Structure 1
Amino acid sequence: MPAPRNTAIRDRHRATIARGKPPCGICGDTIDYSLTVAPGEHGKRCTGPTCTGCVPHPMSYVVDHVIPVNRGGPDILANKQAAHRMCNRAKSDRTDGGPILRRSGSLTRPNRT
């Protein structure tokens, strides 16, 4: 059984990756590390009359596990990469990269028959 995930280590890894400002490891585009929420977008449970937006921006920075933890990937820095929230959600827990291709066109999807 894997060790429980530690939030202090998670936050340290997140900061370490963000310090280098790498591009999205899934699509290859640059990441705007200042994005947090989508302005004017509100979640279903939002009740704040002065809320300016509480839904995470789809292009904001998140950390992606290259090999998902639930697929046996370790929760270590070497198995993590920067990603857009949208790209990470599309990839989900797949190991083949999900439905997103690097926009450079240098990678191709395998034929699935």
Structure 2
Amino acid sequence: MCHLCGEVIDREQTAPQPLAPTLDHVIPIARGGGHTMVNVRAAHFICNSSKSDRMEWSPAA
């Protein structure tokens, strides 16, 4: 499940396909977050790209 939009992630797709799985840094590295297991969550490529380096995001944003 994409932690950003809550929809199922298609594990068969690869980036840059929109529904491909990626790892999102909950606290972006650019904002001081670490590349650690507690700071990453699964997300769609498109959701992760749209979130960019923002701390908060919603599908309607």
TM-score by length of 1: 0.50
Contact 1:63 1:80 in 2 (8 A): yes
Structure with higher RCO (Cα < 8 A, 6+ apart): 2
Gaps in structure 1 of 5+ consecutive residues = 1-22, 38-55, 102-108
- The equivalent residue for 1:10 is none
**Identical-pair percentage:** 43
- The equivalent residue for 2:9 is 31
CA RMSD of aligned residues (A): 1.7
Q: What stretches of structure 1 move > 4 A for 4+ residues in a row?
A: none
- The equivalent residue for 1:16 is none
- The structure with the larger Rg is 1
* Cα distance, 1:71 vs structure 2: 0.2
TM-score by length of 2: 0.89
